């Protein structure tokens, strides 16, 4: 039975990874300090054979007894709202947390997989972004704390590979959504869905013509699994290449929820990338991966989850 450590395992993506690897028969050690993760996300796994939750901040030494086969490093706040709320924690988990997670992989002779991000490309001048694009990041901008911490984490991962021979993988994750995103996460989709279901104004930043490419979480998890079991050490983009404007997304959420909310425009945060779309040639060619869930399906599932949690939270219905 492979033993897999998942840092940030109680977060949005981390908890889906825990589900996936428990189902695949791994013994999973989920480590999280619950800064942005939630015990609710893994409550259904607790007490199950092969799953253990450890409350720990990975910016300090990570102690795991026994053999470890895989270390998946997913701990980090990741919402742009967190870039302002938690900038120092983000830098620490990207730097110190990555160092500790790599140290654990080295000590155990485990394979290491880093959760990196499309943010390493910054506000890109090429669209779509291939892995070979070196990016355009402002180190002193508000987003710099996340972008630079992930760029540092990639560099540290490569250094451990080159110096210590750790067997490493790097996934560059593009905008991903799905069940268990925090209701108050602050990213576009959680905001739009929560606002639409509450009947509050749907807040589009800027003129809404900026684009993103939204991938559903199950497609991401499948891509990560394929990458982990491949021998591809180069960074691999995983994301849905269908690009869409934020104004269109707001309209689709309004439609899918049946909401009467109005769409309102708010100032665009500084440094907000104008376009973002993954070039997934590498994932296709090397992993045989491509996304299978489109926005209509993914939005429906995500909205159902938000509706259920909002009802549980307020003890009441929603306006839509």
160 among known catalytic residues: no
| CA–CA gap between residue 54 and residue 61 (Å, rounded) | 13
Our CB check for ligand UDP shows the closer of 37 and 77 to be 77
3-class state of residue 4 by DSSP: strand
Cα 290 from Cα 29, distance rounded (Å) = 28
Distances in whole angstroms, Cα of residue 91 to Cα of each of 159, 235, 318: 18, 21, 38
Q: Are the C-beta atoms of residues 101 and 7 closer than 8 Å to each other?
A: yes
203 is a site residue for ligand UDP (CB under 6 A) = yes
Q: Which stretch binds ligand UDP (CB under 6 A): 93-101, 165-173, 205-213, 229-237?
A: 205-213
| CA gap 150, 172 in Å, rounded | 10
Residues 265-284 contacting ligand UDP, CB under 6 A: 268-269, 272
- Minimum CB separation of residue 188 from ligand UDP in Å reads 3
Q: Give the bridge partners for 5, in sequence order.
A: 29, 71
Contact 201, 262 (CB under 8 A): yes
Of 168 and 195, the one with the shorter C-beta distance to ligand UDP is 195
Q: Is 187 in the site for ligand UDP (CB under 6 A)?
A: yes
Question: For ligand UDP, which stretch binds (CB under 6 A), given 41-49, 64-72, 101-109, 199-207?
Answer: 199-207
Distance CA 44, CA 236 (A): 31
* Neighbouring residues of 151: CB distance < 8 A, sequence distance ≥ 6: 120, 135, 137
Stretch in the footprint of ligand UDP (CB under 6 A) among 7-15, 37-45, 108-116, 197-205 = 197-205
Residue 217 in contact with ligand UDP, rule: CB under 6 A: no
Q: Which one among 71, 145, 226, 246 touches ligand UDP, defined by CB under 6 A?
A: 246
Binding of ligand UDP at residue 176 (CB under 6 A)? no
Residue whose CB is less far from ligand UDP, 129 or 168: 129
Q: Taking CB under 6 A as the rule, does residue 235 contact ligand UDP?
A: no
**Phi (first) and psi of residue 202, to 5 degrees:** -90, 120
Q: How far, in Å, CA of 73 to CA of 84, rounded?
A: 22
Select the residue interacting with ligand UDP from 30, 71, 120, 204 (CB under 6 A). Answer: 204
List the beta bridge partners of residue 264.
203
Instruction: Provide, rounded to whole angstroms, the least separation between the CB of residue 35 and ligand UDP.
Output: 18
To the nearest whole angstrom, how small is the minimum distance from the Cβ of residue 44 to ligand UDP? 26
Smallest Cα–Cα separation from 228: which of 64, 9, 44, 24? 24
* Contact flag: residue 80 with ligand UDP (CB under 6 A): yes
Residue numbers annotated as active site: 146
Binding residues for ligand UDP (CB under 6 A): 80, 175, 187-188, 191, 203-205, 210, 212, 246, 268-269, 272
């Amino acid at each position: 039975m492979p033993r897999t450590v998942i840092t940030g395992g109680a977060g949005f993506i981390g908890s889906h990874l825990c589900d996936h690897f428990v189902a695949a028969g791994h013994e999973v050690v989920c480590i999280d300090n619950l800064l942005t993760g939630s015990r609710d996300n893994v409550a259904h796994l607790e007490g199950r054979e092969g799953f253990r939750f450890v409350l720990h901040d990975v910016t300090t030494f990570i102690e795991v007894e026994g053999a470890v086969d895989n270390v998946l490093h997913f701990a980090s706040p990741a919402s742009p709202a967190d870039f302002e709320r938690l900038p120092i924690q983000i830098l620490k988990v990207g730097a110190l947390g990555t160092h500790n997670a790599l140290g654990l992989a080295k000590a155990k002779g485990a394979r290491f997989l880093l959760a990196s991000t499309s943010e390493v490309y910054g506000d890109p001048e090429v669209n779509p972004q291939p892995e070979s694009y070196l990016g355009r990041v402002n180190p002193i901008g508000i987003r710099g704390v996340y972008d630079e911490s992930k760029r540092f984490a990639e560099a540290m991962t490569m250094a451990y590979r080159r110096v210590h021979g750790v067997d490493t993988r790097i996934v560059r994750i593009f905008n991903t959504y799905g069940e268990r995103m925090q209701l108050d996460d602050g990213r576009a989709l959680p905001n739009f869905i929560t606002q639409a279901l509450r009947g509050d104004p749907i807040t589009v930043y800027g003129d809404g013509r900026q684009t993103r490419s939204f991938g559903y979480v199950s497609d991401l998890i499948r891509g990560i699994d394929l990458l982990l079991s491949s021998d591809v050490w180069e960074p691999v983009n995983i994301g849905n290449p269908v690009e869409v404007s934020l104004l269109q997304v707001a309209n689709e959420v309004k439609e899918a929820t049946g909401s009467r909310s109005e769409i309102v425009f708010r100032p665009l945060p500084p440094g907000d990338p104008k376009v973002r779309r993954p070039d997934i040639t590498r994932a296709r060619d090397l992993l045989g991966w491509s996304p299978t869930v489109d926005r209509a399906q993914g939005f429906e599932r995500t909205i159902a989850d938000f509706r259920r949690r909002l009802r549980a939270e307020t003890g009441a219905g929603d306006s839509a």
